[in-house]
A and B are shown apart, each in its own frame.
Chain A
Amino acid sequence: MDYDPEGGAINVRFLQADNQRANFIVQNFNLETANSLRRVMLAEIPTLAIDVVEVLDNTSVLADEFVCHRLGLVPLSSRGVGELLYSRDCDCDGYCDQCSVVLTLNAKCTGSEIMKVYARDLVIESNRPNDEVGRPVITDAEGTGSCIVKLRRGQAIHMRCIAKKGIAKEHAKWAPSAAIGFEYDPANKLHHLDYWHEEDPEKEWPKDEERINLDGGPANPDEPFNYEAIPNRFFFDVETVGGLDPDQIVVQGIETLQTKLASVIHELQGSSGGPDGMDLGGAQSPTMNGGAYGAADGGYTTPGYGGASAWGGAGAAQGGTTPYGATPYGGQGQGW
């Protein structure tokens, strides 16, 4: 493509892949899309978190609001959260099995030792759409999860927690990632950075030699500065909170961004009242209005979601069967 001086296809290279992080390089990509993907992974992937708490009993030293806030931050598994509705889209009053998971926390200290109440003590009460969603995330060796409150003899806590689906734009507790590392041009060959320095930035700033070597080595001092150069290699390091696997954060980030763009296409075409005059090398235009996207749904969303959501049929424009395969660029795309 015109922005790609090397003419290679977009590809991914992994540096690390395990249950907690996905550390990878995207090559032959562009800055604006890479950055938008980063932003979507931070703020717009749906997850599950405790949102409303009924306090039945609390004689701990922490105020109700304080404990409720802590409960909101407890990571819950969001695997299969697509089968839940957003509570605001649900027909029920308050909450129900279609839009929430109910967990109870009930503990009383009877011994003389201080008792710690952990995330593992949250008991799921409601009927969930699948066995995974809503399970408190427990990754530590002891199997306790995060500590919510401490109780001394005679103190008790009893709460009913209603966990709902949401995104981190609403509140950071719905963020799927603990951190996302993002970098390009580690050697600063493009001069996008202007390092502050006393005398010589070369001596005063640390260098990540490994990264620089992965990005084509340090700048050649004999070469003149290339004004045309643009970044095309991006380092991502996605670390999960535990509710979603790191690869799922990336995949769902891509899908969320695709859905967002699909809704723009849908909206712009809808206002024109039919297929427009643009020729994309195929007869796919008429199918763009809804149907084709719905059919390409990778199975992440329930029929209920598609019907109730503002995105309408544009549920997901991902997968190998989108009409995009017919665009002039289709040939480059490794047969999808």
Chain B
Amino acid sequence: MTELDGANAHSWNNRIGALVEHNPACGLRDNTKDHRHVTHKADYDADDRFELFLLDDGQQKIEHKEETRVPNTAIFTFNKEDHTLGNLLSQRLLKYEYIVFAAYKVPHPLFATFELRVSTDGTITPKDAIIKCCRDVVQDLGVLKNSFTTEWLGKKIVSEGEAERIARENNTY
């Protein structure tokens, strides 16, 4: 593998669609002549393609704010997360008897963030309730994964055996 050198070695974004005058990596053509040598992003050239899932500089994954007007209540702002986590946590939390309130909202659809509001009955803090909830879901997913893997192998063996049997029968005739 060759590395691009010198002036061309910097950001890809800057040279998208631009004529590249010299690129030793291409080797085959003399670009100082009339041959075009252009670099494209394979798709549209947005610089902010990561903004849905990469935290901004200095941004926290979770911001934690106590709700002072209501007891045992906190609002958690999850950055660079969406309904995948918001719905999962808020719905799951409702299944614990010590949860008094749990809901989430996406304040604006163009910003990848959601707010989760959790109230408990006081026997557990909202933060610990979320931690407990996450642990239980991770555990459920572990059980699911084990069952899935076992069943997949079983089903695969059965269907491969079936295909072999059919192939054998076809050969007989």
Mark A residues whose CB is within 8 Å of B: 1-3, 9-14, 16-18, 22, 24, 26, 29-33, 35-37, 39-40, 43-44, 49-57, 64-65, 68-69, 71-72, 88, 92-94, 96-97, 102, 125-127, 158, 160-161, 167, 169-171, 173, 247, 250-251, 254-255, 257-258, 260-265, 267-269, 271-272, 276-278, 280, 310, 317-320, 322, 324, 327, 329-330, 332-334, 336
Contact = CB atoms under 8 A, between A and B. Distances in A.
B22 interface: no
Interface of A is mostly: mixed
Interface of B: 1, 3-4, 9-10, 12, 17, 20, 23, 25-26, 28-29, 35-43, 49-50, 52-55, 60-62, 64, 78, 81, 83-85, 87-89, 91-92, 95, 97, 124, 127-128, 130-132, 134-152, 154-156, 159
B119 to A, nearest CB: 17
Given A50-B42, A94-B4, A261 B134 contact: yes
Contact of A72 (B43, B78, B95, B97): B43
Contacts of A14: 151-152, 154-155
A57 B88 contact: no
Nearest to A323: B135
A169 B145 contact: no
B41 A96 contact: no
Contacts of A50: 42
A64 B119 CA distance: 56
A39 B83 contact: yes
Contact of A39 (B4, B84, B140, B141): B84
Contacts of A169: 52-53
Contact of B3 (A94, A257, A330): A94
Given A14-B155, A278-B131, A322-B138, 20 more contacts: A22-B152, A37-B141, A52-B42, A53-B39, A54-B25, A96-B1, A127-B1, A254-B141, A254-B145, A257-B84, A260-B84, A268-B62, A276-B128, A278-B128, A320-B142, A322-B142, A332-B143, A333-B146, A334-B143, A336-B143
